[in-house]
Homo-oligomer: A and B are copies of this chain.
Amino acid sequence: MADEEPTSIWTQPEAHERSGPGRRPGYSREQITRTAVKIADAEGVEAATMRRIAGELGTGAMSLYRYVPRRDDLFDLMIDLAMSEIELPDDPSGDWRADLTLLAWQTRAAGLRHPWLIALLTSRPTLGPNLLRVHELALSAFNGTGLDIDDITGFVGMLNDYVHSAIHREIGWLEEARRTGLDPERWKRDYMGPYVRQIVESGAFPLFNRSVLDSRTAHLAPEERFRHGLDRILDAIAALIPSLSPR
């Protein structure tokens, strides 16, 4: 039963409820994944090392390898666990805009709860069951609009691009502050601040300056900023749907 061949973790389900000889497993994929998620939430993914996770569970690092082939696979499991928190109806409501709005806010909530989620998600081409579930609902929101599948995937892609990068921006410098070990306020003032001020004062990039100095949305609460961008993307999609266009 040697699997020399590297295969996706989703094709290697956990051996459940075995009935034969041999010691019973003392842990589980889910338990390990939950522990990893807990650590990553509190201290960042880079803190969720095999030894650390094992330590948290009161065991040795190598024990984990009975449940997870490689650390990268654990990332896939973490992503899927986080995605499982996204609560959506089983079927689309018929109002694509409402469905996608709900999906966007749910995704944002999960992304803020697990600041590593979006970075992992966009860095690994993974297709866990919960990602599939969410994606399926996104696609099905456009059912009945008369769009063909290419347009639908295109629009869902547009929305996902926005949602992911908006969350990324919202978290980005917060995470960077944590990684460098400074508290967010100091990071902004002492680390990035002086450089940005220097750029602004140089006057070399006038529109960048305006985007820093004259921006109104920059001073909005994060939720409002997210809502603004989301509405704009949904407006854009609406404008591209021929059957909705006045023309």
Query: With A190-B7, A236-B239, A240-B236 in contact, is A229–B172 under 8 Å at CB?
Result: no
**Which residues of B lie under 8 Å from residue A168 when comparing CB positions?**
122
Q: Which of B122, B127, B165, B216 contacts A196 (CB 8 A)?
A: B127
Chain A 207-247 per-residue mask, 1 if CB under 8 angstroms from chain B, else 0: 11011001111000000000011001101110110000011
Question: Number of contacting residues on A, CB 8 A?
Answer: 68
- A127 partner, pick from B123, B152, B161, B195, beta carbons under 8 A: B195
Expressed in whole angstroms, the Cα–Cα distance for A67 and B239 within the complex equals 51
B125 touching A182, Cβ below 8 Å:
no
Q: Do A162 and B158 have beta carbons less than 8 Å apart?
A: yes
Say whether A154 contacts B208, CB under 8 Å: no
Residue among A162, A236, A239 with the highest chain B CB neighbour number at 10 A: A236
Set of chain B residues within 8 Å of A27, measured between Cβ atoms: none
A54 interface hit (Cβ, 8 Å): no
Interface 1/0s, chain A 150-190, versus B by CB < 8 A? 10111001101110110010001100100011100000001
CB of A244, distance to nearest CB on chain B (Å): 11
Q: CA of A139 to CA of B149 in the docked complex: distance in angstroms?
A: 33
User: Is A119 engaged at the interface, CB distance under 8 Å to the other chain?
Assistant: yes
**Which chain B positions have C-beta within 8 A of A194?**
7-8, 11
Decide if A85 is an interface residue (CB 8 Å cutoff): no
Question: Considering the chains assembled together, what is the distance between the CA atoms of A213 and B194 in angstroms?
Answer: 52
> Nearest Cβ in chain B — how far from A58, in angstroms?
32
Q: Quick check: is A106 within 8 A (CB to CB) of the other chain?
A: no
- Residues of chain B within 8 A (CB-CB) of A17 are none
Cβ 8 A contact of A132, one of B7, B140, B164, B205: B205
Query: In the assembly, what is the distance between CA of A6 and CA of B206, in Å?
Result: 28
- Within 4-48 of A, Cβ neighbours of B (below 8 Å) are at 5-8, 10-11
List, sorted by A's number, 6 A–B pairs whose CB atoms are closer than 8 Å: A139-B208, A150-B216, A153-B217, A157-B165, A158-B236, A236-B237
